[in-house]
Amino acid sequence: MPAASPDQTLAPHSDAAFLDAMSALAGGVCVVTTTTPDGRPAGFTSTAVMSLSRDPRLLAIGVGRHSRTLPFLLESGRFALNVLHAGGEDVSRRFADSGADRFGDLDWEQADDLPLLGGHSSHMMVCRVEQDVPAGDHRLIIGLVEKVLPGLGHGAGSLVYLGRDYHPLRHPAEFGAGS
């Protein structure tokens, strides 16, 4: 016999039930960056990222239809996926805040005509937009990975988002025997 639902007040088809269920999925925290037509950097935080194919190397990101960065990403046809290291919570919050000066005093560099957050990332992937698929209130952007670069935080663990909160994870090499 199945156990009773922990929260009997949620309608099984409600937005709250859906969001609660999705918050139980851990997501790696990334910042997607691109450039505007006049060369300024733009970007946003995303946990809607997945590896799609090894041959060719493809990944997918979900982008809200109303994202200010989406038009720039589609116009440039290129983006960088910056995989934040375990200490990247402040950077993630900055890029999630629509009113923030996202690049302001942040340490970043321009490479491959894209803004890269090497000092805040374990890895960075330079991608070309291969496909743009409408998906409800989002767009699914499929990117061909042209280049993978290690960040200065390589080996510094990962930042994940789970249960509506950030959780830094140690790099597996830091786990001792028997841990």
Q: What is the pLDDT of residue 177?
A: 43
- Below-50 pLDDT ranges, the chain: 1, 177-179
For residue 6, say if its preceding peptide bond is cis, omega within 30 degrees of 0: no
Residue 168 is assigned to a structural domain of this protein: no
Domain containing 42 equals: 28-162
Residue 139 is assigned to a structural domain of this protein: yes
Q: Which of 47, 7, 41, 81 is nearest to 162 (CA)?
A: 47
Q: How many domains does the chain have?
A: 1
Which two structure tokens, joined as six digits, stand for 16?
């709250």
pTM above 0.85, yes or no: yes
Q: What is the pLDDT of residue 152?
A: 86
Residue 8 is assigned to a structural domain of this protein: no
Residue 2 is assigned to a structural domain of this protein: no
Q: What is the pLDDT of residue 53?
A: 97
Q: What is the pLDDT of residue 156?
A: 84
Q: What is the pLDDT of residue 18?
A: 87
Query: Residue 53 belongs to a domain with what CATH number?
Result: 2.30.110.10
d(CA 79, CA 82): 10
Residue 18 is assigned to a structural domain of this protein: no
Residue 130 is assigned to a structural domain of this protein: yes
Q: Scanning the structure block, which residue is given the tokens 């309608």?
A: 11
Which two structure tokens, joined as six digits, stand for 41?
């950097």
Residue 157 is assigned to a structural domain of this protein: yes
Residue 17 is assigned to a structural domain of this protein: no
